[in-house]
Amino acid sequence: MRQLLQINSSLFAETSVSNQIAKELLAQLAETMPQISISCRDIAAEGVPHLDAAYLQAINTPANEQTAKQAQQSIYSQNLIDEVQAADILLIGAPMYNFSVPSVLKAWFDHIARAGITFEYTAEGPKGLLQNKTAYVITTRGGLHKDKASDTQVPYIKNMLAFLGIEDVHFIYAEGLNMGDHARENGLQQARNSIVEILAA
């Protein structure tokens, strides 16, 4: 059975467009892959902690020398890594906040990028160790940024996933969501059309 890990990062779960589009993509994926197991982590609701010195020290301390707090921090971080390693498919909901990703999504990447586990340095340069995975990224924006210099979100996500070894990445854009009803409808339709195209390919 294929495993899908959904990561939601919108601060507004109830009204979130990225969550809604992710739901629609999931429904269509489930039709083509009935044998799919889905797990979901809402990293905004959960508030993935940002890495700090104490956290880094915790994950770099051998288990038998960790304090109770360090063990808890280390296990939490390891759980995030285990989930990604177990997934065949990643579905990431990524609203644009201040031209980039929500800070919890950055924090999540900081937890899962672990030298020797999800990437390694070789004589040829860094090598991602998360192989044979597909990622779908729903990017929702109030304005229009696709292929413009103001889009510092998609290049970051693309680079981060490639660094970890995930090259089969599909971006679904819903843009112009805060530019009036007409633009919003266009943006939603654009996202729905690209889901159909991507899944048909």
Ligand X SMILES: Cc1cc2nc3c(=O)[nH]c(=O)nc-3n(C[C@H](O)[C@H](O)[C@H](O)COP(=O)(O)O)c2cc1C
Question: Using CB under 6 A as the criterion, which residues of the chain lie in contact with ligand X when the complex forms?
Answer: 10, 12, 16-19, 95-99, 140-143, 145, 177-178
Q: In whole angstroms, give the CA distance from residue 150 to residue 101.
A: 13
Question: Given the complex with ligand X, which of 18 and 74 has the nearer CB atom?
Answer: 18
User: What's the closest the beta carbon of residue 192 comes to ligand X, in angstroms?
Assistant: 15
User: What's the closest the beta carbon of residue 88 comes to ligand X, in angstroms?
Assistant: 24
User: What's the closest the beta carbon of residue 166 comes to ligand X, in angstroms?
Assistant: 22
User: What's the closest the beta carbon of residue 41 comes to ligand X, in angstroms?
Assistant: 15
Question: Given the complex with ligand X, which of 59 and 105 has the nearer CB atom?
Answer: 105
Q: In whole angstroms, give the CA distance from residue 144 to residue 150.
A: 9
Q: Which two tokens stand for residue 40?
A: 């979901």
User: What's the closest the beta carbon of residue 60 comes to ligand X, in angstroms?
Assistant: 33
Per the CB < 8 A criterion, the answer to whether 128 and 164 are in contact is yes
Question: Given the complex with ligand X, which of 42 and 110 has the nearer CB atom?
Answer: 42
Question: Given the complex with ligand X, which of 14 and 65 has the nearer CB atom?
Answer: 14
Question: Given the complex with ligand X, which of 29 and 138 has the nearer CB atom?
Answer: 138
